[in-house]
Amino acid sequence: MMKNFFVCTYEFLGRLIFGLPRHKVFNFFKSNYMRAQGCEIGRDITFYPGIKINPARNIILGNNVDLAWGVIITTTGGVEIGDRTLIGYRTLISSANHNIPSNREHIFGSGHTAKKVTIGRDCWIGGNSVIVAGVTIGDGAVVGAGSVVTKDVKPYTVVGGVPAKFLRERD
């Protein structure tokens, strides 16, 4: 009973804090809320309203990271986002995924696999993208809007599509 109370309180508080506008004053409160839970947060982070980071631990955000409206980040496996990186609207970054059991066993209760997601410096992740567990996106990479990134992305390349594929190198 107490566990449910604490979970609901934690979720309510997170929703309340991350529902605040993206003004510098409110971003200060959002950053400190995450720091209080053990996150490493750089300077001048922009948190748009409506983002969700759960649990708010196992995450490292560099300086000048921009998290747009509706970004969802699950941090069970760990997430690291480098300096000056833009994460577009409604992007999902998932550092854990459900296991698929063998022999037609029940999916519910089959557990999770957690793997770190690393996004380098000076990256741009287009809106509505999905970044799955275990992926590394190199410095300076661009992920086109609506892409599903299932494999590592080399530095200074542009990828896009479902699943995301190499499109070109950045000039």
Residues designated catalytic: 98
Bridge partners of 4, per DSSP, are none
DSSP state of 98: E
Place of tokens 């089959």: 110
Report cis status (omega within 30 of 0) of the bond before 163. Answer: yes
Backbone angles phi, psi at 77, to 5 degrees: -90, -10
The edge-to-edge listing of strands for the beta sheet with 142-143 is 46-47, 66-67, 86-87, 124-125, 142-143, 157-160, 165-169
Task: Determine the angle formed by the axes of helices 24-35 and 2-17, rounding to 10 degrees.
Answer: 150
